[in-house]
Chains A and B, each alone.
Chain A
Amino acid sequence: MVKRLFEKLYLLLIFAFLYAPIVVLMAFSFNESKSRSVWTGFSLKWYEKVFQNSEIMSALYYTLLLAIFSAVIATIIGTISAIGIHSLGKWGKKLTLDINYLPVLNPDIVTGVSLMILFIFVKMRLGFLTLLLSHIVFNIPYVIISVLPKLRQLDKNIYEAALDLGATPGYAIRRVILPQIMPGVITGLLLAFTLSLDDFVISFFTTGSGVTNLSIAIYSMTRRGVSPEINAISTLMFVVVLVLLVVVNGRMSDEKTASDNH
């Protein structure tokens, strides 16, 4: 009985620790005054301010542009590469996957500075293009990791059967292989999209003047001092990412039950 009570209390305290900052952050985005500790009344004015802030709006534009382009490009390159990697020999596959894993394993700051060195070394001007390339670089590994298991589940004979029935290799991949690995491809796409949306460290090192994403904009705002506008963007971003991840998660567990039923 005492143990039960203690457990409940402990859970309560831990979850208070985990959620208090977020709840406070969100609550004060609706606060009337600039104060972040005294409640003075409900208002949506910080949300209005966010939408009028040209710096934030331009950052939002770049964030979405980056997330969409990098996710789509990474998914295309990643899926094609995964099909190739899948048919590599044992050693080639291991080496390729090990190198592919490097950006996942490396601390973001190391990936960030190494890409920055590369871009400056080849005299590319840091800006949207370098930012986009960097996002594609760290997104592809995740796409490959999501697609490969689907390829492993694939029946080896299906592709051959399609060829026997007169399909060209390109047609067979498009109409036979692709539909079967589609769940993995979509998961990879959504994962890449979310990662790109969320990235700060790598973007921070590979962007140039004039181009910022939301994370960088928030970072520079916090350096200047805290403002309820940040609370408002936080709330919006949290809700958007939450919805996205619920979708990804739903997909993943759907697949899990689907493959369990096999």
Chain B
Amino acid sequence: MKKKWLSYPYMIWMAIFIVIPMALVLFYAFTVKDGESVRFSLANFQKFCQPVYLKVALRSIMLAFYCTIGCFLLGYPLAMILASKEYVKKRMLLLLLILPMWMNILLRTYAWMTLLEKNGLINNFLGNFGLGPYQFLYTDVAVVIGMIYNFLPFMVLPIYSVLVKMDHSLIEAAEDLGAGRLTVFRKVTFPLSIPGVMSGVVMVFMPAVSTFIISRLLGGGQFSLIGNLIEQQFLWVGDWHFGSALSIVMMILILISTAILNHYDRDHDNEGVGGLW
């Protein structure tokens, strides 16, 4: 079947709607307005290196980092428990894990707004014990909770899929050779699950570092994360040049993460999860 030409219209489409927009972002990132004309310049990236903006970038990376750690600490035991269950139970628990992901991210984040607000359910509950009310909403803690809540399954699934395929005889061999439960985990299970952990780390880190909804709804202030900064530049300040430079920075972050992911992901497909996505 030789139908090559059927793909040509889409190539033109891709050129218009994927390649040219990217080229425009690059163009804006590397130019500045000079009166009526534009000229090549690295000023936008220099501007990014100012402490105010570096702080925002650093903050995004730090919060994404805390979120990743949180997801790992919560997610690893969960993945282990899931992997140890028998088939029917396993499928049901996996489905339950993924179900909340089917809700719009705005709504999932909004749900936390109502829980964390000053007269929200959590403060009301604590009030029964004479505690609080505490300011949870509009803090970094709220942002990290929101991120963990939204991205936890991205950590659990890759770890689970590695654990579930692990050769069980290795663990038995270690036990036969006298290793205790902790030693088996430290020396056998965990090292073998590293590829899954790495995939999980990247898959959580990527959306966490590029989000702007979660920080906008749950975080305080306008400039909280790099995503908010991009939004600000395009929609409020109107400085497309700087906004594009920020987008390039974010793309580079994502590309590095994807490269890491590909490196670890090469020889493991998400079996058992494939049915759901």
Q: Which residues of A contact B (CB under 8 A)?
A: 7, 10-11, 14-15, 17-22, 24-25, 28, 35-38, 77, 80-81, 83-88, 92, 96, 99-100, 102-103, 105-111, 113-118, 121, 133, 137, 140, 156, 159-160, 169, 173, 177, 198, 200-201, 205, 215, 218-219, 222, 226, 230-231, 234, 237-238, 241-242, 245, 249, 252-253, 256
Q: A residues within 8 A CB of B28? A: 117
Establish whether residues A218 and B250, one from each chain, have CB atoms under 8 Å apart when the complex forms: no
Establish whether residues B22 and A81, one from each chain, have CB atoms under 8 Å apart when the complex forms: no
Q: A residues within 8 A CB of B105? A: 198, 200
Could you list 20 A-B pairs, sorted by A, with CB under 8 Å? A15-B96, A80-B6, A84-B5, A87-B1, A87-B3, A99-B18, A100-B18, A102-B18, A107-B210, A114-B21, A169-B3, A198-B105, A200-B104, A205-B235, A218-B104, A218-B106, A226-B114, A226-B117, A234-B103, A237-B104
Establish whether residues B108 and A21, one from each chain, have CB atoms under 8 Å apart when the complex forms: yes
Q: A35 vs B4: C-alpha distance in the bound complex, in angstroms? A: 61
Establish whether residues A18 and B97, one from each chain, have CB atoms under 8 Å apart when the complex forms: yes
Q: A253 vs B274: C-alpha distance in the bound complex, in angstroms? A: 9
Establish whether residues B121 and A37, one from each chain, have CB atoms under 8 Å apart when the complex forms: yes
Q: A177 vs B6: C-alpha distance in the bound complex, in angstroms? A: 14
What's the A-B contact tally at a CB cutoff of 8 Å?
210
Looking at the complex, which of B39-47, B61-69, B186-194, B240-248 is the stretch in contact with chain A? B240-248
Q: A146 vs B8: C-alpha distance in the bound complex, in angstroms? A: 19
Residue-wise, chain B 1-38 has the 8 Å CB interface mask toward A (1 for contact) of 11111111111011011111110110010000000000
Chain B stretch 155-206: residues in CB contact (< 8 A) with chain A: 206
Establish whether residues A201 and B275, one from each chain, have CB atoms under 8 Å apart when the complex forms: no
Q: A109 vs B21: C-alpha distance in the bound complex, in angstroms? A: 13
Taking the closest CB of chain B, its distance from the CB of A169, in whole angstroms, is: 8
With A83-B3, A117-B28 already in contact, the answer to whether A18 and B111 are too (CB < 8 A) is: no
Establish whether residues B104 and A226, one from each chain, have CB atoms under 8 Å apart when the complex forms: no
Beyond A81-B10, A110-B247, 8 additional contacts (C-beta under 8 Å) are: A18-B149, A81-B6, A99-B18, A103-B18, A117-B244, A200-B104, A222-B106, A237-B104
Q: A20 vs B74: C-alpha distance in the bound complex, in angstroms? A: 16
Q: A residues within 8 A CB of B18? A: 99-100, 102-103, 137
